[in-house]
Each structure stands twice: as C-alpha cells, then as structure tokens.
Amino acid sequence: MDKFSKVTSVPAYLSIVNVDTDMMIPKQFLKTIKRTGLGKSLFFELRYDEDGKPLKEFVLNQEPYNKSKILIGEKNFGCGSSREHAPWSLLDFGIRVVIAPSFADIFYNNCFKNGILPIVLKEDNIKELAEIAKNKKEITVNLEDQKIDKGDNTPLSFDIEPFRKECLVNGYDDIALSLKKTKDVETYLIKKKKETPWLFSA
C-alpha cells in the first residue's frame, strides 16, 4: 500500500446523498479479484450512456475533475453492500481522499485498508469545499497535520484514529501489519519447538 502524506488536487464534488457501493461499481464488475482496471468502471451507470459513451454532464468526465484525487460527497457515502471493489475502483481512478458528512461503516473501514483517507466534516464545511470544487481551485489534504488547506488562512481540521493514521502514513495494509510481527512469531516458534518438539517432528 502506498504511503500517504499530502494530496493536492482540484476536488470533484458529487452532490448525491446515499451513494451506495453498487452505484460506485455495479455488480457486473465484481468478477475480478484484481485491484487494478476498475477505475474505468467507477460510477459506470452515471458516467456512460447505453452505448458506453461518456456522458459530458457527469462530473468525473469533465476537466479537471477527471483527474481529481479528492472526492467530496454527501451524507451516508458508501452505503449498500460491503464490496471491497468500491474502494478499489476509487483508488484505481486516482482518488486518495473522500470527504463527506458521514460514511457507511464498512465502506469507511475498507477505505483505510486500501490506502484511501475518508474524512468526516460538518455539512457547512462540505458546502464550502463544494464551492471550491465548482470554482476549480485546488485544496491540499495534509494527513500529518490533520488539516485541509483551502488556499486561505482558515484550514479545516479533521479527526482520525491514531492507529489508522499510522497505517496510512507508513503504507501498512493488513499483510504489512502481520509481517511486522515476524520476529515475535519466530521467537515463539523457537520457544515452542523446545517445549514441545513432538509437535514439529515430521
């Protein structure tokens, strides 16, 4: 998992309440277990017409939002089924930060496990960021300082659990966290082989 420090981008604003995971990545794209290649199908039914042509009116098909690394959403973002393909598709598209007033729990947890930073902000702050997005101005999300720089002297602060912050900053996924315990596992095995050698005989 890539380490996370700062992300600077013109944010894209999706003004839809209750964006569910099926809307993010429809069921027909769940056949793969690869984390790559899903970005082109992100919000498939909103981005393309029946012939597969991009719809100009959808925000992620427009410049500069088609290169956004920050997505601003509305209440209950990521509701619906628990499919991990949803954060995979966001990440493959290039999005590293999702900001919303509230998230569905499973989606929120899956974001952290896949290197995406989900940020909860008050609705007034969301409206302010939405205006910045509409004006095509950049913002910077600084995870170390837990602040969002809007280009003025009033950065927005956000909360994050210390453990989750540590994982994102260092790029620790579940496998990396397990590998950190390698020495402890090896020490335990050496001890058990001495105490119960018959358990390890061929």
φ/ψ region of 192 (left if φ > 0, alpha if ψ in -120 to 50, else beta) reads alpha
The pLDDT tens digits of the residues spanning 126-161 come to 999 999 999 999 999 999 999 999 999 899 999 999
pLDDT of 194 higher than 90: no
**Predicted confidence band at 202 (pLDDT cuts at 50, 70, 90)?**
low
Mean pLDDT of the chain: 93
Distance CA 130, CA 59 (A): 12
142 by DSSP, 3-state: which?
Answer: strand
Q: Note the pLDDT of residue 127.
A: 97
Distance CA 109, CA 120 (A): 13
Q: Six-digit token pair at 128?
A: 């302010």
Nearest residue to 99 via CA among 55, 158, 54: 158
63 by DSSP, 3-state: which?
Answer: coil
Distance CA 73, CA 134 (A): 13
pLDDT of 55 higher than 90: yes
The structural domains of the chain, ordered by start, are 6-171 (3.20.19.10), 175-202 (no CATH)
Rg (CA), the chain: 20
pLDDT of 118 higher than 90: yes
Q: Note the pLDDT of residue 134.
A: 97
Q: Note the pLDDT of residue 93.
A: 97
Q: Six-digit token pair at 124?
A: 């007034």
Q: Note the pLDDT of residue 88.
A: 96
Q: Six-digit token pair at 28?
A: 């027909």
The pLDDT tens digits of the residues spanning 77-111 come to 999 998 999 999 999 999 999 999 999 999 999 99
Q: Would you list the DSSP string of 71-82?
A: EE--TTBTBS--
pLDDT of 70 higher than 90: yes
Give the mean model confidence (pLDDT) for residues 5-32: 94
